[in-house]
Amino acid sequence: MFYRLLLMACLALEAAATTSAAAQTYPEGLGPPSVGRAAALAAHIRAFHRWTGLTPLPADYCVTMREGEAVQKALAKLAGRAILYRQPGLALELQRAGDALSDALDEEEFINQQAEIPFVDFPCPVPAPAYPARAVVLRLVEPRMPFCRMQGNALRISFEARRAMMQQCLRLPRS
């Protein structure tokens, strides 16, 4: 109970400290990120793995991916501040939420990269009726995703190092 109150207080303090910059820092005025929001975004981004590329891009794809990137960066900053203020439990909780969100973003990004989907403004692919190569890449990469997530958790790395590890783990051999 005390731990949750401490988490809420830390997020409230962060909101108070960044009220003037909140609209600029966070997409669509969402305010500071929360662990629950990060989990919801990670689940929503993982749902995009069902998009095989044989239909047009999902309507909320670009907005969700941008929001995920912004929330992940904000969680990394909050985790750093929690460490600075000697709150290791809070830092670990924020890192776990950030890791899950980062993994979902990395998986989706890497699927598109392996399928050679062109981008105009990252993370939004060029509007096209279909991307058939995505279906092939999904069949090859999707079984590897749980192993790569477990490997990142076992190595106890987060954020930038985890992103590099995920990309290396999910990489398909070129023939």
The tally of domains found in the chain comes to 1
Long-range interactions of 54-58: CB distance < 8 A, separation 24+: 54/130, 54/131, 54/132, 54/134, 54/135, 55/130, 56/127, 56/128, 56/129, 56/130, 57/124, 57/125, 57/127, 57/128
pLDDT in tens, 13-30: 555 444 333 333 443 434
User: 89 near 135, Cβ under 8 Å?
Assistant: no
Domain with 132 in it:
35-170
Q: Please check whether residue 175 lies inside any domain of the structure.
A: no
- Does residue 29 lie within any of the structural domains? no
- In angstroms, the Cα distances linking 55 to 8, 50, 96, 137 are 41, 11, 33, 15
Percent of the chain with pLDDT over 90: 41
Whether residue 102 is contained in a domain is answered as yes
Judge whether 56 lies within some domain: yes
Q: Which residues contact 83 (CB under 8 A, 6 or more apart)?
A: 91
Rounded-to-integer distance, Cα 105 and Cα 46, Å: 8
pLDDT in tens, 44-96: 999 999 999 999 989 999 999 999 999 999 998 888 888 899 988 888 899 89
- Tokens read off for 175: 């023939």
- Asked if residue 20 is part of any domain, the answer here is no
Residue 51 lies in a domain: yes
| Residue 3's pLDDT band (cuts 50, 70, 90) | low
Are 171 and 146 within 8 A, CB to CB? no
